[in-house]
Structure 1
Amino acid sequence: MSQLYQFKVRTIDGEITTLEQYKGKVLLIVNTASACGLTPHYEGLQQLYSTYNDQGLAVLGFPCNQFAGQEPGTEEEIKDFCNLNYHVTFPLFAKIDVKGDNAHPLYRYLVEHVPAPYRTGDIEWNFVKFLIDREGNIVKQYSARTEPLEIEDDIRQALAEG
C-alpha cells in the first residue's frame, strides 16, 4: 500500500482523518488560496471534479498562506469563499504549510516522490497540482500556472488505467 494514504490531515471542518478514504481513486492534490491571481483555478478544479468524480476522481484542496499572504482567512472564511464564489464541492482541508521547515508531511512526501522528469523539488506558488494514480503513485507535478483543464487528458488516462 502506498504511504500516501497514511498521512493524517485535518478537514476544513476540523476533523482529523487520513487519505485512506481516497484509496483506489485518482487524486488531484492542490495547494489553494483565495486572494491569488490564480484563484480562478477553483473553477476549473470544480469542473474536473464535477465531470469525473463519478468515474473515480477526487480533487483535494489544501489552503496555504505561505505565498504573499494570499490565504489569510480562517477555515470557515475559506470554506464560505469557495462555496459562494466557485460552488466548490470537492474536499477542502485545514490550512497548512506546503514548503519550508513547517511543511506538512504530505507535501514533503509529494515533492520528494514526484517521478522524473516532472520533479521540481519545490512548490513555487499557490495552485501547484499533483496527479496521483489509483495505486497512490504520483504521476506528475504541474506548475501553479497550469490551468486545471490542461490536465484533463492526463486525468482521463489515469482513470482509464484503473
Structure 2
Amino acid sequence: MTDRSRRMLVAAPLLMAAAPGQTAFDFRLEALEGGPLALADFRGRALLVVNTASFCGFTPQYEGLQALHDRFAARGFSVIGVPSNDFRQESADAAKIREFCETVYGITFPMAGLTTVRGPHAHPLFTWLAARAGGPPRWNFHKYLVARDGLAVRAFSTSTGPAHPELVQAVEAALGTAAAG
C-alpha cells in the first residue's frame, strides 16, 4: 500500500461524513457482539446515541438510559450505546463490556463495539453528529438525540442525565414529529 492510498483511507471517513443528503440512518457501527449494527434498521425511529464507558463516574446513567429506552421504545424510540475508550475508562474486551452492562444494569438496548468518538480517527457517525450538534463529546455519556427523519440532531452534555426533564421533553417532542416506524 502506498503512502497516498493510506492517506486516502484515513481521509475517506471524513469525506463520507460530509456527503450531502446523508442521514444518521446511512451509518453503520460494529455491534458489540460483532457484525454490523446498521442504523438503517432504525429508520423512522428517534435515536439517542450515547458514548458510554464502564469505569466512569457517570456509568450509573446506564440505569436511566435503560429506563428511557423502555419507556419510549413502543412509541418508536431507541437508545444506542456506543462504548468508547477515548477517555480511558472502558475495557477493550467486548465480552467484558457486555457482561458488565447486562449483569450490573440489565441493558437490553443495542450496543456498538468499542468506537472512537472524537478526534481525527472518530467514527464517521460521530463526525456527522458533532458537525450538526455543537461538537464532539467532551466526556463519556454525551448524548445525541436524532429525530425520526435522521437529520435533526440535538446534543445533551454528560451532566444532563437520562431522566432530566429537558432531555425527556426533547425525546417526547422527537416522537411527536411522525408516526412510529
- The verdict on a shared fold, with TM-score over 0.5 as the criterion, is yes
Max radius of gyration: which structure?
A: 2
Give the corresponding residue for 1:132.
146
- Which of residues 93, 110, 113 in structure 2 aligns to 1:94? 113
Give the corresponding residue for 1:6.
26
- Which of residues 27, 33, 53 in structure 2 aligns to 1:33? 53
Contact 1:33/1:64, CA 8 A, preserved across alignment? yes
- Which of residues 75, 98, 118 in structure 1 aligns to 2:94? 75
Give the corresponding residue for 1:61.
81
SS in 1 for 2:163: helix
Q: Which residue type is aligned with residue 108 of structure 2?
A: T
In 2, Cα distance between equivalents of 1:35 and 1:161: 36
Q: Which residue type is aligned with residue 109 of structure 1?
A: W
Root-mean-square deviation (CA, aligned residues, Å) is 1.2
TM-score (norm. length: structure 1): 0.92
Q: Which residue type is aligned with residue 57 of structure 1?
A: F
- The number of residue pairs the alignment matches comes to 156
Contact 2:30/2:36, CA 8 A, preserved across alignment? yes
Give the corresponding residue for 1:142.
156
Structure 2 unaligned residues grouped into runs of 5+: 1-20
In 1, Cα distance between equivalents of 2:22 and 2:161: 27
Q: Which residue type is aligned with residue 48 of structure 1?
A: L
Over the matched positions of the two proteins, sequence identity in percent amounts to 37
Q: Map Cα deviations across residues 36-72 of structure 1 (whole Å, 9 max, x no partner).
A: 00000100000000111011000000000011x1002
Q: Which residue type is aligned with residue 96 of structure 2?
A: E
**Quick one: structure 1 residues 93 and 113, their matched pair in 2 at CA, closer, same or farther if it must change by over 3 Å?**
same
In 1, Cα distance between equivalents of 2:93 and 2:56: 16
In 2, Cα distance between equivalents of 1:157 and 1:13: 32
TM-score (norm. length: structure 2): 0.83
Give the corresponding residue for 2:170.
154
Q: Map Cα deviations across residues 121-145 of structure 1 (whole Å, 9 max, x no partner).
A: 2310000000011100233101111
Contact 1:129/1:141, CA 8 A, preserved across alignment? yes
Structure 1 unaligned residues grouped into runs of 5+: none
In 2, Cα distance between equivalents of 1:8 and 1:30: 15
